[in-house]
A and B are shown apart, each in its own frame.
Chain A
Amino acid sequence: MVKHVLGRNLNKAFIGGKVDVEPIVDVSFEAVKGKLTVFTGPSGSGKTIVMNIIAGFIKPDGGQLLFDGSDASQWGWHRWNRFRRDFISYSPQRNMFLPRLKAIENILLSASLRGVDLNWARDYALKLSAELNMDKVLDMEVYKLSGGERRRLSFIRSLLVDVDIYLFDEPTSNLDIENAGKVIDKICELVDKEKIVIVATHDENLVRRGELKYIVKDGRSIQV
């Protein structure tokens, strides 16, 4: 069980890539179970890159990323894959789905990959969908859904697995106030369950609920 995540002086430069990305210069943070950790800051400041570093998709050039004291920046491909499978649930900023699959198939894919009982997962998905006003679109192909619906779908998918670390990148973007409020409530429920929850957001309502807050600006983090 992971209880503590620590980032120390993380940095990452992107040279020669297809996308013009501002570098991460010096980001440090701490996330513990039972507390909501929030990254906020202007667009393009590097929040998403930090989230991807925590999820193990981007390897930092320097600094340390410690999960209960184990430096993950030194881990290899296999260990990261297993760790992600066993301990991390990630809802990225952009909605990543297989567009030809139905909404329910997309969210069950995650449960299926992690070996979660599909009957339970389906029931739980229906319950969450009802709570987030998504129950009527579960049988639709994803490409037919609106931006807000895809956002909630991604959120539901990340909740279907019981892990120690939850990463949400802009979970309330494209959502109306009512649905954004429901999503924030769900995030807080995870915190109450003693999970490590890390959020990157512009949403003031969500930032206010954070207990460990960091502003990321020009590739540097400042604890608030």
Chain B
Amino acid sequence: MNMNPNHIRIFIKNLFLNKWRYHLKIVGISSIILSITLINYFILPFEYDTLVTPYERAGYDYKVDLSSLHSLFIAGEYNVDYLLYSLERFLINNRDLVKDFAVVYSYFDGHLSIKFISDVSKIYLTEYGALLDGRHPTSEFEVQTPPLFSNPFISKISIGSRIEILDFDFEVVGKHFFTDDILAPMSPRVLDNLNRATVYEFTLYLDVDDGVNIKMFIDKLIDYLYEEGFINVRTVSGYGFSEAKNLFIYNESFFNSLALDREFFVEANRKYIEDKYGSITSIRFVYTYGSLMIFIVYLLRAIDTFFSENRYSLALIYLLGGTDINFFLIYIIMFSLYILLIIPPALLVSYGYIAYFLKIDIPAKYILTVYDDLLLYSVVITFIVTLVYNYLALRRRGFSDVLLERFLG
């Protein structure tokens, strides 16, 4: 015994249109409550994945000396964003932590941009992606203090100073130490925990003639930096991502030999996570699961009110021969409509708050990998609890008062 789908549609439409302002209010408030849950829920696994997972997966420790930087990775693409994205994917897919020194450059319309990056790692590149996404407003003009470079070079890097290399004048147009206004709030802790394994980069911007062989220029530049003692690395160069990638496959035993206190970092970071989330008194735990409970209860009450106020219509359904199947069908459709209207704005609000207010550089694609866990969990819980509550309420109240009011009132 099913309702004709067309009649279900008309029936639901009838119920929704009668009080669309009420439904709009429910959707709005529910979205805000759910977004509070999502904000914290998104941060939690990301912090864990950033602080703990890499160490657990790594076969060696981060705590390495500058002398471990033994290879130089040079890769040039016109689209430096794509290059770094490829690099990041490579590192993530390999589940390895890479201690190395990378130079990437981009050349466009006579402007050459050269980025020197040390300690290239999954963590760094994930965060670095935020710069490329434009979330760091000053990323375009900055030179960051690079401790992996030798002191003479550092001393020359100050805003407004000019550096002459290979007849090219470099002008430092900005300087930025890698601090928390670039990175996610937890990044300083990452840096603290990593001790010297910090991430640094500096960028040079210069104009070049079209006749310059960019690759050769980069090679000469690196040679120059090394010979002058500006950098402490020996050059091994490759061009393009494929070639450079192979150079990234370094001698793993070398890194293993440097392993120090890996367990210490794992435990330290895990404890950090536990303190923030693991206890029911921790603030994030309270925010996340408290707001989740409020969301469930609020939606439950909203749907209950909806059914209470429309008990006349439900009574009519039963009066005309409808059964619980029809009630469940109406409930499922109504609940689904609510959820479909609530989730997209909740996702947008939570992600926007994380990215633009908290300035935590959680990649959108990372969120897409974890949001469904919580939402599925929340939606299923809400669906079941609300359904049971409303169904029992319906049975407990029956329709006698509605019918009597209609008949006799």
- A84 B321 Cβ-Cβ under 8 A: yes
Q: How many whole Å from B150's CB to the nearest CB in chain A?
A: 79
Binds A, one of B1-9, B108-116, B202-210, B340-348: B1-9
Of B316, B323, B401, B409, the residue contacting A81 (CB under 8 A) is B323
A58 at the interface (CB under 8 A from B): yes
- A98 B408 Cβ-Cβ under 8 A: no
Of A92, A112, A161, the residue contacting B319 (CB under 8 A) is A92
Bound state CA distance, A14 and B399, in angstroms? 14
- A85 B401 Cβ-Cβ under 8 A: no
- A157 B320 Cβ-Cβ under 8 A: yes
- A112 B7 Cβ-Cβ under 8 A: yes
Per-residue contact bits, chain B 21-35, to A (CB 8 Å; 1 contact, 0 not) = 000000000000000
- B400 A100 Cβ-Cβ under 8 A: no
Contacts of B409 in A (CB 8 A): 18-19
Q: Is the interface of B mostly helix, strand, loop or mixed?
A: helix
With A57-B398, A85-B322, A114-B1 known to touch, is A94 a contact of B10 (CB < 8 Å)? no
- B1 A113 Cβ-Cβ under 8 A: yes
- A94 B323 Cβ-Cβ under 8 A: no
Contacts of B406 in A (CB 8 A): 92, 94, 96
A21 at the interface (CB under 8 A from B): yes
A109 at the interface (CB under 8 A from B): yes
- A77 B404 Cβ-Cβ under 8 A: no
Contacts of B80 in A (CB 8 A): none
- In chain A, what residue has the closest Cβ to B4? A112
Per-residue contact bits, chain A 88-124, to B (CB 8 Å; 1 contact, 0 not) = 1110111011111100010011101111001000000
- B3 A112 Cβ-Cβ under 8 A: yes
- A81 B318 Cβ-Cβ under 8 A: yes
A-B residue pair count with CB separations less than 8 angstroms: 109
Contacts of A59 in B (CB 8 A): 398, 400
Of A19, A78, A99, A169, the residue contacting B404 (CB under 8 A) is A19
- B316 A97 Cβ-Cβ under 8 A: yes
Per-residue contact bits, chain A 27-68, to B (CB 8 Å; 1 contact, 0 not) = 000000000000000001000110010010111000000000
Binds A, one of B11-19, B160-168, B253-261, B271-279: B11-19
B317 at the interface (CB under 8 A from A): yes
B326 at the interface (CB under 8 A from A): yes
- B322 A113 Cβ-Cβ under 8 A: yes
- B395 A77 Cβ-Cβ under 8 A: yes
A208 at the interface (CB under 8 A from B): no
Of A52, A78, A93, A96, the residue contacting B316 (CB under 8 A) is A96
- Interface residue ranges of A185-222 to B (CB < 8 Å): none
B145 at the interface (CB under 8 A from A): no
Bound state CA distance, A49 and B18, in angstroms? 30
Contacts of B403 in A (CB 8 A): 52, 57-58, 92
- A114 B321 Cβ-Cβ under 8 A: yes
Contacts of A21 in B (CB 8 A): 404, 408
- Interface residue ranges of A137-158 to B (CB < 8 Å): 157
- In chain A, what residue has the closest Cβ to B394? A77
Contacts of A109 in B (CB 8 A): 3, 7, 11, 320
Chain B interface size band reads 35 or more
B313 at the interface (CB under 8 A from A): yes
Bound state CA distance, A112 and B317, in angstroms? 11
With A101-B10, A101-B14 known to touch, is A93 a contact of B1 (CB < 8 Å)? no
Of A93, A101, A113, A157, the residue contacting B407 (CB under 8 A) is A93
A136 at the interface (CB under 8 A from B): no
Name the residue among A55, A77, A115 with the largest chain B CB count within 10 angstroms.
A77
Q: How many whole Å from A82's CB to the nearest CB in chain B?
A: 6
- A57 B399 Cβ-Cβ under 8 A: yes
- B11 A118 Cβ-Cβ under 8 A: no
Q: How many whole Å from B45's CB to the nearest CB in chain A?
A: 44
Contacts of A17 in B (CB 8 A): 401, 404
Bound state CA distance, A172 and B162, in angstroms? 101
B252 at the interface (CB under 8 A from A): no
Q: How many whole Å from B160's CB to the nearest CB in chain A?
A: 72
Q: How many whole Å from A151's CB to the nearest CB in chain B?
A: 14
Contacts of B218 in A (CB 8 A): none
Contacts of B10 in A (CB 8 A): 98, 101, 105
With A78-B324, A109-B11, A112-B3 known to touch, is A98 a contact of B404 (CB < 8 Å)? no
- A161 B321 Cβ-Cβ under 8 A: yes
Of B316, B323, B398, B399, the residue contacting A98 (CB under 8 A) is B316
Contacts of A112 in B (CB 8 A): 3-4, 7
B373 at the interface (CB under 8 A from A): no
- Interface residue ranges of A13-28 to B (CB < 8 Å): 14, 17-19, 21
Query: Which B residues form the contact surface with A (CB < 8 A)?
Result: 1-4, 7, 10-11, 13-14, 17-18, 312-313, 315-324, 326, 395, 398-401, 403-409
Extra A-B contacts (18), CB below 8 Å, given A90-B319, A113-B3: A17-B401, A19-B405, A19-B409, A57-B315, A59-B398, A78-B323, A85-B321, A89-B321, A92-B403, A92-B406, A93-B407, A96-B319, A98-B10, A108-B4, A108-B7, A110-B320, A114-B1, A118-B4
18 A-B pairs (CB sep. < 8 Å): A19-B401, A44-B408, A52-B400, A57-B400, A59-B398, A81-B324, A84-B318, A84-B319, A85-B323, A92-B319, A92-B406, A96-B316, A98-B10, A98-B14, A112-B7, A113-B317, A113-B321, A113-B326
Query: Which A residues form the contact surface with B (CB < 8 A)?
Result: 14, 17-19, 21, 44, 48-49, 52, 55, 57-59, 77-78, 81-82, 84-85, 88-90, 92-94, 96-101, 105, 108-110, 112-115, 118, 157, 161, 169
